[in-house]
C-alpha cells in the first residue's frame, strides 16, 4: 500500500479491538455514573457530610485504570491476540471492582 495510492486498508482485528474498547468504556461510564449518583444521594439520605480524601481519589483512579485495561477480556474470542492480553484482561477484570468497593464501603462507614 503506497501512501500516495489513495487506498486505505483497515485491519479487521484492529477495528474490532477499537470498537470493543470504545463500547467497553461507554458501558462503564454508565455504571460509574450510577455510583456517582449514589455518592451524591448518600449524604442526603444519612444527613451526614461527605468528605473527599486522597484515598477516595486514588481509589477511583485505580478503578479507572483497571476499567481501561479490563476491556482485554473481550479479546478472548480471537486466538491471534498476544497471550499477554489474555492475562492482562483476566487480572484487570477481576481487580477492577476492588478499589471502587473499598472506597465506597470505607466512605459510607467512616465518614
List, for residues 19-56, the tens digit of each pLDDT value.
888 888 888 888 888 887 887 888 888 888 877 778 77
Task: With a cut of 70, say whether residue 93 has pLDDT above it.
Answer: yes
Strand boundaries in 1-111, DSSP class E: none
Q: What whole-number distance in Å separates Cα of residue 95 and Cα of residue 66?
A: 7
Grid cell of 61 as nine digits:
483512579
pLDDT band at 3 (very low <50, low <70, confident <90, very high): low
pTM (predicted TM-score): 0.62
Average pLDDT over residues 11-25: 86
pLDDT band at 79 (very low <50, low <70, confident <90, very high): confident
Q: What whole-number distance in Å separates Cα of residue 95 and Cα of residue 20?
A: 19
Domains of the chain, by residue range, sit at 12-110
Amino acid at each position: 500500500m503506497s501512501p500516495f495510492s489513495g487506498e486505505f486498508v483497515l485491519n479487521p482485528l484492529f477495528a474490532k479491538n477499537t470498537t470493543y474498547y470504545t463500547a467497553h468504556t461507554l458501558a462503564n461510564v454508565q455504571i460509574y455514573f450510577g455510583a456517582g449518583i449514589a455518592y451524591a444521594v448518600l449524604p442526603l439520605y444519612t444527613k451526614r457530610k461527605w468528605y473527599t480524601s486522597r484515598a477516595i481519589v486514588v481509589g477511583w483512579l485505580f478503578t479507572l485504570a483497571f476499567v481501561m485495561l479490563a476491556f482485554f477480556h473481550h479479546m478472548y474470542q480471537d486466538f491471534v491476540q498476544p497471550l499477554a492480553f489474555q492475562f492482562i484482561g483476566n487480572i484487570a477484570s477481576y481487580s477492577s471492582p476492588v478499589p471502587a468497593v473499598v472506597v465506597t464501603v470505607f466512605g459510607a462507614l467512616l465518614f
